[in-house]
């Protein structure tokens, strides 16, 4: 399950950020994961919950934005939106597509509270 290693990588980014910012507790982590990234979100959420136990990110809200996939259709010479890898061009039905977007995973925001601060209501 590569989602567990992704969760560990995200946690490492969070821990590095906390060290740079002088500590605190994490209240929010906002990710951007493209729909063509091949990430199973439920497995990532589970893995993240596991790797965060007992640390400053335990209980943090994990929000995920999922931008659509995009591809260049070689047959009709258009950029088209794709919901999943393997779909045909929605305009001409061709499978001659070059994926151009929606494959990334990035940490967009980390909300940090001072130690002992109550989470926002």
CATH number at residue 50: 3.30.2320.80
Q: What count of residues does the chain have?
A: 121
CB of 100 closer than 8 Å to CB of 72: yes
Q: How many domains does the chain have?
A: 1
Residue 120 inside a domain? The answer is no
* Local confidence band at 116 (pLDDT 50, 70, 90 cut-offs): low
pLDDT in tens, 6-63: 999 999 999 999 999 999 999 999 999 999 999 999 999 999 999 999 999 999 999 9
Residue 107 inside a domain? The answer is yes
Entry pTM: 0.84
How high does pLDDT run on average in the chain? 93
Residue 13, H or E segment? helix 2-21
Residue 118 inside a domain? The answer is no
């Amino acid at each position: 399950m590569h989602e567990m290693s992704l969760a560990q990588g995200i946690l490492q980014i969070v821990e590095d950020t906390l060290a740079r910012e002088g500590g605190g507790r994490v209240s929010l982590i906002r990710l951007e994961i493209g729909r063509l990234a091949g990430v199973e979100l439920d497995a990532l959420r589970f893995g993240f919950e596991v790797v965060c136990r007992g640390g400053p990110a335990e209980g943090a809200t994990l929000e995920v934005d999922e931008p659509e996939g995009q591809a260049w259709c070689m047959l009709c010479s258009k950029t088209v939106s794709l919901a999943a890898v393997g779909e045909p061009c929605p305009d001409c039905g061709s499978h001659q597509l070059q994926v151009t977007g929606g494959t990334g995973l990035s940490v967009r925001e980390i909300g940090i509270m001072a130690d002992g601060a109550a989470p926002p209501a």
